[in-house]
């Protein structure tokens, strides 16, 4: 299927530092794509660029066939920030209903989304009295109720109990089955196995763009943590300054042309492992 999001040679600087260094990648439509990488690898910045709130230096990001941040996309893209962005001095229901009114989806969609994230019992509760996990789910509900075509979720499962995490991932897949494209970031490697496709990010560069299975096969390990490590070690340019940014960026696909061929044949895993 075609990509919902296409990122081409994206460069972002924040505070004078290069945070994304000529990244090119795609997010497949109707799939759950995991954006994985350690803290500070640029996950949030990439997500911000995709939802169109990040000022970029160069490169192109297109979402659902339009430039990221286009006014027409605001109805079709849902974004949940890493720190829950809901109104602490409103109840869960009031928050959901307000966001529903912005998207024009109505009260029923709001109440349904609150129930979907397991907060039906806490709907009348002020958000400031919720636990961290509940807070994150309240924030998630305010994006789900928009029924977006693309849902960008920045670490939505942090701090959730294992049963709930399972539920949330199941919901993500149900949404994807219904045609929604999901981009979900995480720094927890064990969540990678739950994704259809993986984007591995480190220090502002794309390490890999594979399915979890391909990644296991290529790195010859079942453990994603060590897969990640092997990918890093296998890169010929361990030191970040000895080649130009164009060559270094995104080993599997270094440019728009490479973006057409998905298999990660460019990753020279044999060398270092």
Residues that bind another protein (CB under 8 A): 14-15, 51-55, 69, 74-75, 77, 79, 81, 83-90, 94, 98-99, 101-104, 126, 142, 146
Q: Which is nearer to another protein, 27 or 208 (CB)?
A: 27
The nearer residue to another protein, 104 or 162, going by C-beta atoms, is 104
Shortest Cβ 88–another protein spacing (Å): 7
Q: Residue 142 to residues 43, 104, 115, 171, 246: CA-CA distances in angstroms? A: 21, 12, 12, 15, 39
Least distance from another protein to the Cβ atom of residue 31, Å: 22
Residue written as tokens 């096969």? 217
Nearer to another protein, 5 or 269 (CB): 5
Least distance (Å) between residue 118 CB and another protein? 21
Residue 57 Cβ vs another protein, minimum distance, rounded to whole Å: 10
Given the complex with another protein, which of 33 and 95 has the nearer CB atom?
Answer: 95
Decide whether 85 or 223 has the Cβ nearer to another protein.
85
Judge contact between 182 and 4, C-beta under 8 A: no
- 126 or 232: whose CB is closer to another protein? 126
Q: Are 150 and 119 in contact (CB under 8 A)?
A: no
Q: Which residues, 6 or more positions from 152, have their beta carbon under 8 angstroms from its beta carbon? A: 47, 50, 51, 77, 78, 79, 80, 182, 183
**CA distance linking residue 204 with residue 21, whole number of Å:** 5
Backbone angles phi, psi at 201, to 5 degrees: -120, 135
What distance lies between CA 146 and its chain's CA centroid? 18
Q: Of 215, 211, 201, nearest to 250 (Cα)?
A: 201
Shortest distance, position 269 Cβ to another protein, whole Å: 36
Instruction: Please report how close the Cβ of residue 83 comes to another protein at its closest, in angstroms.
Output: 6
- CB of 124 or CB of 162, closer to another protein: 124
- Least gap, CB of 172 to another protein (angstroms): 19
Identify whether the C-beta of residue 210 lies closer than 8 Å to the C-beta of residue 178. Answer: no
Long-range contact set of residues 256-260: C-beta below 8 Å, sequence gap at least 24: 256/8, 256/9, 256/24, 258/24, 259/6, 259/8, 259/24, 259/25, 259/26
State residue 44 phi and psi, 5-degree precision.
-65, -40
Residue 13 or 171: which CB sits closer to another protein? Answer: 13
| Beta carbons of 157 and 169 less than 8 angstroms apart | yes
Q: How far is the CB of 82 from another protein (least distance, A)?
A: 9
């Amino acid at each position: 299927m075609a990509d919902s999001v296409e990122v081409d040679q994206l460069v972002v600087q924040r505070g004078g530092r290069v945070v994304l260094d000529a990244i090119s990648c795609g997010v497949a439509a109707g799939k759950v794509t995991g954006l994985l990488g350690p803290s500070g690898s640029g996950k949030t910045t990439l997500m911000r660029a995709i939802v169109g709130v990040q000022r970029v230096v160069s490169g192109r990001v297109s979402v659902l066939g339009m430039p990221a941040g286009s006014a027409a996309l605001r109805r079709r893209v849902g974004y949940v920030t890493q720190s829950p962005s809901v109104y602490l001095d409103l109840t869960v229901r009031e928050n959901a209903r307000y966001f529903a009114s912005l998207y024009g989806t109505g009260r029923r969609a709001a109440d349904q989304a609150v129930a979907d994230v397991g907060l039906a019992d806490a709907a009348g509760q002020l958000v400031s009295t919720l636990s961290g996990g509940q807070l994150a789910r309240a924030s998630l509900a305010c994006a789900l109720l928009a029924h977006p075509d693309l849902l960008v979720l920045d670490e939505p499962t942090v701090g959730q109990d294992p049963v709930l995490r399972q539920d949330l991932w199941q919901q993500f897949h149900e949404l994807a089955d219904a045609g929604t494209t999901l981009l979900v970031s995480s720094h927890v490697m064990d969540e990678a196995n739950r994704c259809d496709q993986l984007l591995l990010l480190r220090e502002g560069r794309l390490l890999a763009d594979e399915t979890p299975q391909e990644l296991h096969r290529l790195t010859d390990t079942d453990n994603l943590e060590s897969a990640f490590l092997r990918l890093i070690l296998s890169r010929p340019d361990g030191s970040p300054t000895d080649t130009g940014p164009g060559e270094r960026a995104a080993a599997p696909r270094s440019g728009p042309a490479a973006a057409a061929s998905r298999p990660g044949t460019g990753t020279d895993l044999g060398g270092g492992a």
